[in-house]
Amino acid sequence: MITTAGSAPTAGTIMRLRRRGYRVVATDIDPAAPGLYLADRSHLVPPGDSDDFLPEIRDICRRENAAALVPLVDEELPAAGRLADDGIAVLLPRPAFVATCLDKYVLMRRLAEAGIPVPATRTAEEWTGDPPFPVVVKPRRGRGGRGVAVAESAGELSRLIAESPCAPGDLLVQQRVGGTEFTVSVVVWRDGAVQSVVPKEVILKDGVTRFAVTRRHARVAEVCRAVQRELRADGPFNVQLALDADGEPRIFEINPRFSSTAPLTAAAGVDEVAGLLRQAIEGGPRLADEWREGVVMVRHWADEFIDEAGFAGYGITPGRPTSAAAAPVARAAR
């Protein structure tokens, strides 16, 4: 089972796993999510942070006889991780690592205490005096660039804090690191050994990374390996960092799941989703840290064509627009 069928990379992941012979079930909260129509079966589910999500996803897993679950959105991760108790292989890091990463303030403190370089980070209520500008203002918990802004001056910072729906203790003010940005796939499983580290230089970002290129960088890889050594994810994670003025990588966020750039990692030679899936449910071989540098990802729209009868089964009627806001939160299966 793969969640978040409407996310940019999910459709490609579904099709890649089906080509490898897996039966794939997809879920999303929105019947307009493209990946729903590319899976063997699909279901609509409640939001991942609702009380209804865990019972619903557990019931779907039972009825579909799911061997493994690949959750791909932060709101679902704590609940999805609990399905490991049901004997399902959940392709996530260990729960303690997930919880640490989902609280960006706690994460920055843990990394700094471990000697891993991070930007100066405080909650909005902790700063005394003016921070060194520019700074990034963002929710303590959140994803996909939601609520993230840059302040160039004290006046702008004060305005952003005042206008934020977050309380000062739940709003972070973080030094902006202005050098080259990387998003890094770190492939690791329950034995704790890092199998591969694939840094990707970000060329264009709009919420998610749209253009990126695989790039070897020894210090970036070293810092990412240190995260596993010190925090013990023991599962796949994605590091977001940027180089400071001295060329030192500084981590500003970690996603405790597969990255939206996992398709680029696979195109370069390390199929982290399929590889860890084989290890989790089949005892498959470890992945090698062998991949091609200079592979560029250009994310774009693609068209797919299916039979109208199957399409109508998802609750979308031709001629009547469907939006996420109007989507029913109920099951719909093909």
Task: State pLDDT tens for residues 186-195.
Answer: 999 999 999 9
Dist. CA 285–CA 128, nearest whole Å? 52
Q: Do domains 97-102+178-298 and 120-175 have the same CATH topology?
A: no
Please count the helices (runs of H) and the strands (runs of E) in the chain: 10, 14
**Distance between the two ends of the chain, CA-based, in angstroms?**
14
- CATH fold of the domain at 120-175: Dna Ligase; domain 1 (3.30.1490)
Q: Sorting pLDDT into bands at 50, 70 and 90, what band is 104? A: very high
pLDDT value of residue 321 = 42
Q: Could you report the per-residue pLDDT of 258-278, keeping only the tens digit for each? A: 999 999 999 999 999 999 999
Q: Sorting pLDDT into bands at 50, 70 and 90, what band is 331? A: very low
Tell me: pLDDT of 327 over 70. no
Q: Sorting pLDDT into bands at 50, 70 and 90, what band is 312? A: low
Edge-to-edge order in the sheet of strand 194-206: 249-255, 237-243, 181-188, 194-206, 208-214, 296-298
Q: Could you report the per-residue pLDDT of 20-57, keeping only the tens digit for each? A: 999 999 999 998 899 999 999 999 999 999 999 999 99
Tell me: pLDDT of 325 over 60. no
Cβ atoms of 220 and 186 closer than 8 Å = no
Note the CATH architecture for domain 10-90+303-312.
3-Layer(aba) Sandwich (3.40)
Average pLDDT taken over every residue of the chain: 91
Residue spans of the domains in the chain: they are 10-90+303-312, 97-102+178-298, 120-175
Instruction: Extract the runs of DSSP E, i.e. beta strands, from 3-123.
Output: 25-28, 41-44, 68-69, 89-90, 121-123
Q: Identify the three-state secondary structure at position 268.
A: helix
Is pTM beyond 0.85? Reply is: yes
Cβ atoms of 202 and 183 closer than 8 Å = yes
Mean pLDDT, range 85-103, rounded to an integer: 97
Q: Sorting pLDDT into bands at 50, 70 and 90, what band is 313? A: low
- CATH fold of the domain at 97-102+178-298: D-amino Acid Aminotransferase; Chain A, domain 1 (3.30.470)
Q: Identify the three-state secondary structure at position 164.
A: coil
Tell me: pLDDT of 320 over 50. no
